[in-house]
Amino acid sequence: MSNSTTKIPILVDIPKSQTRGGGSGKVWEDIDINTLKSETEKIGLAIQTMFSNFNSATEAYQLDNIEVNVGIKAGGKLGFLGSGVSGEGEAGIKLVFNKKDIGA
């Protein structure tokens, strides 16, 4: 089975501006799994970059948990919610990262 043609259905919200009668709605959108994989890698690198120096910047504290909300646009594009990812139909993913227990 090749991932090059694998698509998964994702339920996305349709904004009022794109629906008849001005009501919001939902629709199933088939998203290519490779598109999601590529977009997820970009999000992972962005999170890693944003928090790479966090512990040294807050010496008295330890970062134990990061919670990120990511939106999925109808075409499979991912972005942090609140960063302009909206505008087309979108769904969301909640990512929670916990600190690894090293040395236990």
* Full strand arrangement of the beta sheet holding 90-98: 25-32, 7-14, 90-98, 65-73, 78-80
- C-alpha pair distances (Å), 51 with each of 42, 58, 62, 103: 14, 11, 12, 22
Residues of the chain with pLDDT under 50: 1-3, 87
pLDDT at position 41: 92
pTM here is 0.61
pLDDT at position 50: 83
pLDDT at position 1: 47
Task: Give the domain ranges of the chain.
Answer: 3-98
pLDDT at position 80: 78
pLDDT at position 55: 65
The residue assigned the tokens 């120096």 is 53
